[in-house]
Amino acid sequence: MYVFKVRAWTGEKMIYSDKDTYPLNSYKFEFDWKKCTGLRLFTFQRRIQVTDEDGDTYTIPDWIEVEDAIITQFTGLFDDTGKEIYEGDIVEVTEFKSYPYRAVVHFNYLGAWIKGPSLRKLLGISEIQQLYEYCDYGFGKGILSTCKVIGNIFENPDLIPDEEKNTSK
C-alpha cells in the first residue's frame, strides 16, 4: 500500500512530513484548497490568543509560510538498503551487473523514473526508465539490478550527473 509522504527543502535543511511536523516539531504541510496550488510548508512562530463570539479565549499557533520551499513526493519505492526514495534523490543504479551510473529521480503522472545511461540512446533504447525496474527491495533484491540512494539534488548538487545539471532544479 502506498503511503503519501512529502519532504521540503527550505534552502537550509530538509523537512519530512512524517518526522518533522507539528506537534513534535515546528513545521506543518498544508494544501491550499482555495487556490489549488498544491502543498505549502509552514513554520510555527508563536502562540496567540483569540476570543470567539461567545467570549471564550483560546490560545492557537501562529503559522508563517516558508517562502520558496521546494516540496517533493515519496515515490513509494525503496532502495536496496530499505531507504525511501523521493523525487529529487540521486540514485546509483546498475543493470545486469553493469558499471554503476548515477541518475536523478523524477516523479510525475508516469510514476517514478530516471534517465538511463547514454549507451541506451546509442542503441536506440529509451533513455527513460521506470525506477521500479531497479528498485526491487525485498523481492529478488539485487539479482538483475541494484539501486542505492546516494544523495539528493538539494544537499548534494555535486552528485548530479552532467546530463541533468541544467534540468534538475
Could you state, in order of their start, the residue ranges of all structural domains in the chain?
6-68, 74-164
User: What are 18-44's pLDDT values in tens digits?
Assistant: 888 877 788 998 887 776 668 889 999
- Between 121 and 80, the higher pLDDT residue: 80
Cα distance between residue 42 and residue 67, in whole Å:
9
* Residue 46 confidence (pLDDT): 87
Of 80 and 57, which is predicted with more confidence? 57
Cα 62 from Cα 39, distance rounded (Å) = 18
Q: What is the predicted pLDDT for the residue at 110?
A: 79
pTM of the complete model: 0.82
Give the pLDDT score at 118. Answer: 61
